[in-house]
Structure 1
Amino acid sequence: MSPRPEVSPPAAHAGSVGGRSVHEHITDAVKAPDLIRLDGNTVLARFETMKVYAALGAVRSLLRRGRIVPGQTLIDSSSGIYALALAMACHRYGLRCHIVASTTVDSVMRAQLEILGATVDQMPPSQSLRLDQERRVRHVRALLADRPDFHWMRQYHDAVHYEGYQECAELVSGALPEGPVTVVGAVGTGASTGGLAQALRASGRAVRLVGVQPFGSVTFGSEQFNDPDAIIAGIGSSIPFRNVRHELYDTVHWLDFRHAMAGAVGLLRQHAVFAGLSTGAAHLVASWEAARHPERLHLVLGADTGHRYAERVFSRHAEARDMAGLRPLPIASLAELRPPWSVMEWAGRAAPPGARCADEGAAVSVSTVELTS
């Protein structure tokens, strides 16, 4: 595969047909969100996969700085969405891709990765997602020991993943009316919510950042709880992530699986939008926030589509609760935190003790909390 020469964000299009852009690569087509008004003061940024911004921005920056070169192999551990984004970025820039995949990666995702040219090492079935992640990290380290020429992307810890969201912020800011905005989204690795809010604030816009977390995650201090239904991929973590910058967040909501499911099914039922579980959680939170702050525009981040949740969530739509009857418990400190839904004014506090990265060794032994049934 021959590398493409450009490593800066391209112009919006190389030409147009009927007023629509003609893109040079599929990543340009899928990275930008569709902006959909849900209610008077709520807009959904619906992505096919939001992590394309993170992967493209990181790869371009690393190429420009000479930290990687065309033909080199990029490696990372992933449960699926970042893996696909990284594989597409490697396809675009003539790089090789090696994914150490979770046991939860399905056959459709694996086929896409392999056809794109990625090497996929998938972990065997595991009794727990924690064990699955630990196996993946050990496998990455073993590969790096044998192949020091590989570049480990470290999506959870390398701040280079923030850079792509500058482009996203410019697109969103240009489409939304002037004035204050509240960004609502799953915290995950921290790069999407943090990167977008940081870039919007740098442009001069007043931004309130609302993060969404599962119970059982160390990121915002809920690790003492266990949600028996939970599998929130990419929303929380069982160890610290360096890319989560706690001081950027104004408010944090913690939701269990049932509430996230209510939001996802409600989004499809009310607005015909088929989106993932993290988007459902953000939708529920934004609906509550928007009712309390009608003077502000609320931007909901819809990180991916609902296809990988078809069986685990949407086939059970009859079980979903009505969003209108759901309310969070307002708390003043983490000592008051309670399932199934709590909200706290975080107000830029520092990371709780369990979310602080003591050293690089702690930072790279990653185990994500995923949300499933």
Structure 2
Amino acid sequence: MSDIYTSILDTIGNTPIVRLARLSPAGIELYAKLEAFNPLGSVKDRLALGVIEAAERDGRLKPGQTVIEATSGNTGIGLAMVCARKGYPLVIVMAESFSVERRKLMRFLGAQVVLTPASEKGTGMVEKARELAATHGWFWTRQFENEANADIHSRTTAREILKAFGETGPDYFVTGAGTGGTLKGIARVLRAERPATQIVVAEPENTPMLASGIRQQYKSDGTPAESHPLFRPHPMMGWAPDFIPQLTADAIDTGLIDVIQPVGGSESLRLARELARQEGIFCGITGGATLAAALEVAKTAQQGSRILFMVPDTGERYLSTPLFESIEQEMNAAEKEISNSTPLCRFGVPTSQPAVAAAVAIEPAPDSARDFVEQAIKDPEQPVVMFALEWCEFCWAARRFLRDLGVAFRSVDLDSVPMQANGLGGDIRKVLHSVTGQRTIPQIFIGGAHIGGAVDLLDLHDRGELVTLLGKAGVAPAGDPTITARSYLPKWLAARSAT
């Protein structure tokens, strides 16, 4: 990349269009518009920039004002990026049923995330956003009926498509309805300038709200008055909330849709995986869903037809969803067979190399290190002390557990820069070995007594003995004493322990 940008927001748009090779039916050209190339990984980056800058231009959004939106996640992630760069506080309202990766991404970017009960569905999170905006005077972006959502797609996404496909345009354009912004914004440009292009809208087959012809009821401001009667839960996050957004209804009413194509949840999951495994395209569930719709279109399309389908986002924000449920964390039988085909670095097999460390003599530690350890262990002001490494998984597990339990503790990080000065950290490890007989880190002391490492600490709690031990040292946990301590172990260790 030769350009230098003044803002991350300048990198939004101009996403690639890629022709599929292995998944295209014979005689049909399938093309994917890869919106994961936006900086925060989804098509909703465009929406976020469009609605914020439109509100800045017309004065609805004031400097420093809090922004709020109800979203399944991708819009919230895009808004978190835009608001971070522009300096607006952001509150996101999201139903609890959407993936936890999305919550964490938004919070990582500085947003606050308010969850609503899954039973209240999309209309519930919209109403919560309305209530919070009215109560606190926040700017509500209203993605489902905000014309700025569609406008930015007319200005950017549609123009990118026309530039790529030239005078004739694609023969078919396939997208999900979503908020309606992508659909309305692109379809109206294609209808005006490439009228031969067929506009195909995909929706979950078990939720045929668009295909039913049953109109959505709206309030005077364009927000849904109630759930659509044909809504059913489905796996396509970002598609088909429990209402038809006003922007989608506009596309229907103005004749922008030629075909409504139902797609199955299982087929969408399968094709998202196939895009990764056969084309190297990593996408979320809706990418598989639009591919499913495109393949249905291809069954009746003329030979030589060019079908463009939207791939709205990346797969990384679906790790906790059914998309990844068949993906193992540990080695499967075939992978173990590969590992066992050579002698080195195998689980459950003694190493063929000599243990060099065992032959190295351990020199006595200087008195300064012994004094440090003794003072740390016996400090009455900090009866819980952990000798640790800054980035060790076991040390992090112990730290997180103690914090959640509400126990103040001192962490002596032996590999930190100050501890490495003059070799103090290494000398302390020698002292700890002579005191505990253990070489591993962390080593934890409570009230001057050595209790062991991270696993020992967690097991003490799960056996019901830790709180008593802490009490004897004058420490009263302020957190939840019912937490399961071993759940804090690294996932790879927890998985091995369970087998």
2:10 to 6, 25, 28: 28
The 1:108/1:227 distance shift into structure 2, 3 A limit, reads closer
- Confirm or deny that 1:151 pairs with 2:139: yes
Bigger drift between 209-218 and 286-295 goes to 286-295
2-structure distance, mates of 1:36, 1:56: 24
1:185 alignment partner in structure 2: 175
3-state SS, counterpart of residue 246 of structure 2: coil
1:285 alignment partner in structure 2: 293
The letter of the residue matching 1:143 is: L
2-structure distance, mates of 1:225, 1:72: 38
2:322 alignment partner in structure 1: 312
2-structure distance, mates of 1:108, 1:261: 18
- Confirm or deny that 1:299 pairs with 2:287: no
- Confirm or deny that 1:116 pairs with 2:120: no
Return the offset for 1:190: 1.2
3-state SS, counterpart of residue 22 of structure 1: coil
Between Structure 1 and Structure 2, the one with more helix by share is 2
2:76 to 66, 80, 83: 83
Question: For this pair of structures, how many residues does the alignment match?
Answer: 294
Return the offset for 1:164: 1.0
Instruction: Please say if residues 227 and 256 of structure 1, whose CA atoms lie closer than 8 Å, have aligned partners that are also in contact.
Output: no
Return the offset for 1:156: 1.1
Larger Rg: 2
Instruction: Please say if residues 268 and 289 of structure 2, whose CA atoms lie closer than 8 Å, have aligned partners that are also in contact.
Output: yes
Kindly report which structure 2 residues correspond to 1:56-67, keeping only aligned pairs within 5 A, or say none. 56-67=49-60
- Confirm or deny that 1:42 pairs with 2:42: no
- Confirm or deny that 1:239 pairs with 2:243: yes
1-structure distance, mates of 2:99, 2:260: 31
Instruction: Please say if residues 121 and 241 of structure 2, whose CA atoms lie closer than 8 Å, have aligned partners that are also in contact.
Output: no
Kindly report which structure 2 residues correspond to 1:95-174, keeping only aligned pairs within 5 A, or say none. 95-123=88-116, 126=117, 129-147=118-136, 149-165=137-153, 166-174=155-163
Instruction: Please say if residues 145 and 245 of structure 2, whose CA atoms lie closer than 8 Å, have aligned partners that are also in contact.
Output: yes
Q: C-alpha deviations, 1:259-295, integer Å up to 9, x for none?
A: 2123212222321212111111111221232352334
Alpha carbon RMSD of aligned pairs, Å?
2.6
Return the offset for 1:224: 6.8
1:262 alignment partner in structure 2: 270
The letter of the residue matching 2:30 is: T
Over the matched positions of the two proteins, sequence identity in percent amounts to 25
Instruction: Please say if residues 174 and 309 of structure 2, whose CA atoms lie closer than 8 Å, have aligned partners that are also in contact.
Output: yes
- Confirm or deny that 1:72 pairs with 2:65: yes
Return the offset for 1:250: 0.4
The 1:266/1:106 distance shift into structure 2, 3 A limit, reads closer
Kindly report which structure 2 residues correspond to 1:180-219, keeping only aligned pairs within 5 A, or say none. 180-181=169-170, 182-204=172-194, 206-214=196-204, 215-219=206-210
The 1:73/1:67 distance shift into structure 2, 3 A limit, reads same
The letter of the residue matching 2:211 is: F
3-state SS, counterpart of residue 21 of structure 1: coil
Bigger drift between 160-169 and 66-75 goes to 66-75
TM-score normalised to the size of structure 1?
0.71
Between Structure 1 and Structure 2, the one with more strand by share is 1
* Structure 2 gap ranges (5+): 37-41, 214-227, 329-499
Instruction: Please say if residues 199 and 256 of structure 2, whose CA atoms lie closer than 8 Å, have aligned partners that are also in contact.
Output: yes
Instruction: Please say if residues 210 and 260 of structure 2, whose CA atoms lie closer than 8 Å, have aligned partners that are also in contact.
Output: no
1-structure distance, mates of 2:96, 2:191: 38
2-structure distance, mates of 1:220, 1:303: 22
Q: C-alpha deviations, 1:121-166, integer Å up to 9, x for none?
A: 123xx4xx3424344234323313322x312111112222111112
The 1:21/1:46 distance shift into structure 2, 3 A limit, reads same
Greater relative CO, 1 or 2 (CA 8 Å, sep 6+): 1
The 1:179/1:295 distance shift into structure 2, 3 A limit, reads farther
Q: C-alpha deviations, 1:7-26, integer Å up to 9, x for none?
A: xxxxxxxxxx5xx3333333
* Structure 1 gap ranges (5+): 1-16, 319-373
Instruction: Please say if residues 183 and 193 of structure 1, whose CA atoms lie closer than 8 Å, have aligned partners that are also in contact.
Output: no
Instruction: Please say if residues 217 and 237 of structure 1, whose CA atoms lie closer than 8 Å, have aligned partners that are also in contact.
Output: no
TM-score normalised to the size of structure 2?
0.54
1-structure distance, mates of 2:54, 2:260: 31
Instruction: Please say if residues 197 and 207 of structure 1, whose CA atoms lie closer than 8 Å, have aligned partners that are also in contact.
Output: no
Return the offset for 1:174: 1.6
Instruction: Please say if residues 180 and 207 of structure 1, whose CA atoms lie closer than 8 Å, have aligned partners that are also in contact.
Output: yes
Instruction: Please say if residues 231 and 242 of structure 2, whose CA atoms lie closer than 8 Å, have aligned partners that are also in contact.
Output: no
